[in-house]
């Protein structure tokens, strides 16, 4: 979207992009009784434009359009809206895909209040400002929604507050138009909840401070039949049960939605911990490089422990599944646990089991992860997040090959192979006293390092084809591939979310694409506007004379400061004074930075 925001278009109309519906109240002039309000629903969200008597608005994707919307279905100057003599007119400007009112193509037509116009794939709704209810129209674009989701992940990691992510879609036949029912969902949500547009008939909902059961109650309320609302389907994922990073949660909620049916309209994603890691072992290109795949095959046959290191989303879980599948333990269980998602109070009982009555809520004896994996493999994901007490308990199990259930004094022998994974620098943590050196030596008998996707540019095309085939099958589409410009953009992007981010981008592009190929316009705005990554396409390191493409200096400083502050708050349990002491910063300076960066949740002291 490159149109004006909150200003006056060259043709006279005022336009704004609706990031937060409460802003709309200031945007509309309550004294202009004769004006008309136009709501434009497009793939990047919702845009508002007001017309006063004598004003006109040209809409299209070209530079000369007053309201520019980057949709391939629009012509450069697609249609003109004009308010004259108390009547609102729409005129098609010789567009390729035409203008429709009430489903019928028109060259020029009067638009009454409540009319719905279709220009290409963009839906336009006509309203009177006096009857406009801003609260009903808090529909964010996908990129704006992701910004809120990213903030929520940061808060959850810092303060341990759960949240949930929903994806809702209309009937499987796609007969219902999202603009007609999305406002009804907004009315049923809290002001703090966020509603975004994932695709033409799919919305996404962020529910802060809500666990899985609370989200289930909200989802059932949203799915309840009521006038004007078509039969809906909902996929549900929550932090930390179904994922602990943005890309994992997006993938989990999307997969849950795709698993719904007319009989099962609400589907909850499979729990991320603990439980069997049911990952299909894919070709090496989808999880590791060819060189790493050869190393993986060699170490799989051994009985030594393995430490897999790499950034979030590089495929550590798939590498662990491949190690198990190629080992002599393949016929036995592979049990995974995300150490970063486990509350401290449940950690020992989850890993080692508990006896009935060992603590409140322990109504029956339950084996832990190590017992459940007898003869097989235990995958400890994000092992760097373990508390000191948990590190000591794990070290004892690795040394003695015995576990003791919580509430029992009896030791049980276990025969398991341990594969651990982390995105953190454990050696640096050892130097800081945050991770036990003896435990690190037990875990890293052999280390498998998975490089980030930005260092594997040559593999992106093969990965895209694999993800495209899977997305086609899941969404009932038959896209043939990507046009050259779209593929080049994917190969030049830095991919901070690695494989998960690439998979999610292709999944959504398949939902959005209108032709046989994915185009640049089907890719997220953050890809289209991002500078090329510094690593060359062959994955080799840039030479010393190369110029790095970096974000503006002040943005980098702000991100770094924000990360330091969040880490200090996490270590201090949210106590501002203690966090300021850790940062060697005056408390007043810390408070000012908390406000500036929008970091909430810290305990305010008098």
Query: What confidence tens digit (pLDDT) does each residue in 447-496 have?
Result: 888 888 888 888 899 899 989 999 999 888 999 999 999 999 999 898 98
At residue 378's C-alpha, the angle toward residues 256 and 380, to 5°, is 70
Report the pLDDT value the prediction gives residue 277, as an integer from 0 to 100.
Answer: 39
- Check: CB of residue 246 under 8 Å from CB of residue 524: no
Of 254, 306, 336, 289, nearest in space to 503 by CA: 254
| Residues 54, 600: Cα–Cα separation, whole Å | 46
Count of beta carbons in the 10 Å neighbourhood of residue 485: 12
CB 439 within 8 A of CB 391: yes
Model confidence, pTM = 0.72
Q: Mind listing the pLDDT tens digit for each residue in 398-443?
A: 999 998 888 777 888 999 999 999 998 999 999 999 999 999 999 9
Other Cβ atoms less than 10 A from the Cβ of 524: the count is 20
pLDDT for the residue 245: 86
**Which contiguous run of DSSP H or E holds residue 374?**
none
Quickly tell me which residue has 């401070």 as its tokens. 209
Strand order in 417-422's β-sheet?
275-276, 334-338, 377-381, 417-422, 306-309, 446-449
pLDDT value at residue 542: 37
pLDDT of residue 309: 92
Which among 258, 262, 236, 259 is positioned nearest to 249, based on CA atoms?
236
Query: pLDDT by residue (tens digit) across 202-253?
Result: 999 999 999 999 999 999 999 998 877 788 999 999 998 888 889 989 999 9
pLDDT in tens, 7-28: 455 455 666 555 444 444 445 5
pLDDT at res. 439: 95
Q: Tell how strand 163-169 and strand 122-127 pair up.
A: unpaired
Q: Please state, in angstroms and rounded to a whole number, the distance separating the CA atoms of residues 363 and 365.
A: 7
Find out whether 84 and 53 touch, Cβ atoms under 8 Å: yes
Instruction: Note the pLDDT tens digit of each residue in 286-341.
Output: 445 566 667 777 888 888 899 999 888 888 888 888 899 888 998 898 888 888 77
């Amino acid at each position: 979207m490159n149109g004006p925001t909150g200003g006056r278009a060259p043709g006279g109309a005022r336009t704004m992009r609706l990031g937060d519906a409460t802003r709309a109240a200031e945007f509309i002039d309550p004294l202009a009784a004769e004006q008309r309000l136009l709501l434009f629903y497009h793939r990047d969200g919702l845009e508002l434009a007001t017309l006063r008597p004598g004003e006109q608005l040209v809409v299209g994707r070209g530079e000369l359009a007053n309201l520019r919307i980057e949709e391939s279905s629009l012509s450069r100057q697609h249609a003109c809206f004009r308010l004259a003599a108390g009547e609102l007119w729409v005129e098609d400007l010789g567009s390729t895909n035409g203008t429709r009112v009430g489903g019928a193509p028109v060259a020029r037509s009067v638009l009454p209040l409540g009319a719905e116009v279709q220009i290409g794939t963009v839906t336009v709704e006509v309203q009177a400002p006096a009857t406009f209810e801003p609260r009903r129209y808090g529909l964010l674009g996908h990129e704006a929604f992701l910004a809120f989701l990213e903030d929520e992940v940061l808060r959850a990691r810092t303060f341990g507050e759960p949240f949930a992510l929903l994806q809702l879609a209309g009937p499987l036949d796609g007969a219902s138009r999202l603009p007609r029912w999305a406002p009804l969902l907004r009315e049923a949500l809290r002001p703090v909840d966020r509603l975004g547009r994932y695709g033409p008939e799919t919305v996404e909902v962020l529910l802060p401070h809500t666990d899985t059961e609370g989200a289930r109650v909200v989802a059932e309320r949203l799915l309840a039949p009521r006038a004007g609302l078509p039969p809906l389907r909902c996929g549900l994922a929550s932090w930390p049960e179904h994922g602990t990073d943005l890309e994992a949660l997006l993938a989990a909620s999307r997969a849950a939605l795709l698993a719904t049916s007319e009989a099962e309209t609400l589907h909850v994603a499979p729990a991320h911990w603990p439980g069997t890691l049911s990952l299909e072992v894919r070709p090496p290109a989808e999880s590791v490089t060819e060189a790493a795949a050869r190393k993986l095959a060699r170490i799989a046959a051994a009985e030594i422990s393995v430490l897999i290191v790499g950034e979030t989303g590089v495929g550590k879980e798939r590498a662990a599944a491949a190690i198990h599948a190629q080992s002599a333990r393949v016929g036995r269980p592979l049990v995974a646990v995300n150490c970063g998602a486990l509350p401290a109070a449940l950690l020992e009982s989850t890993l080692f089991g508990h006896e009935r009555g060992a603590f409140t809520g322990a109504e029956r004896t339950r084996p832990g992860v190590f017992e459940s994996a007898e003869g097989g493999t235990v995958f400890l994901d994000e092992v760097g997040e373990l508390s000191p007490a948990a590190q000591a308990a794990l070290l004892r199990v690795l040394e003695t090959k015995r576990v003791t259930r919580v509430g029992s004094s009896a030791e049980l022998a276990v025969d398991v192979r341990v594969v651990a994974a982390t995105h953190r620098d454990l050696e640096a943590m050892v130097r800081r006293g945050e991770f036990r050196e003896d435990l690190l030596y037990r875990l890293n008998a052999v280390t498998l390092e998975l490089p980030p996707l930005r260092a594997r540019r040559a593999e992106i095309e093969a990965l895209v084809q694999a993800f495209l085939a899977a997305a086609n099958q899941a969404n009932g589409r038959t896209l043939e591939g990507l046009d050259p410009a779209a593929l080049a953009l994917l190969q030049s992007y830095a991919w901070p979310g690695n494989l998960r981010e690439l998979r999610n981008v292709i999944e959504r592009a398949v939902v959005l694409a209108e032709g046989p190929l994915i185009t640049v316009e089907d890719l997220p705005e953050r890809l289209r506007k991002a500078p090329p990554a510094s690593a060359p396409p062959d994955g080799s390191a840039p030479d010393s004379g190369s110029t790095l493409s970096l974000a503006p200096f002040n943005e980098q400083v702000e991100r770094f400061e924000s990360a330091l502050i969040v880490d200090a708050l996490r270590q201090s349990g949210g106590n501002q004074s203690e966090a300021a002491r850790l940062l060697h910063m005056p408390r007043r300076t810390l408070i000012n930075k908390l406000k500036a960066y929008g970091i909430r949740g810290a305990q305010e002291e008098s």
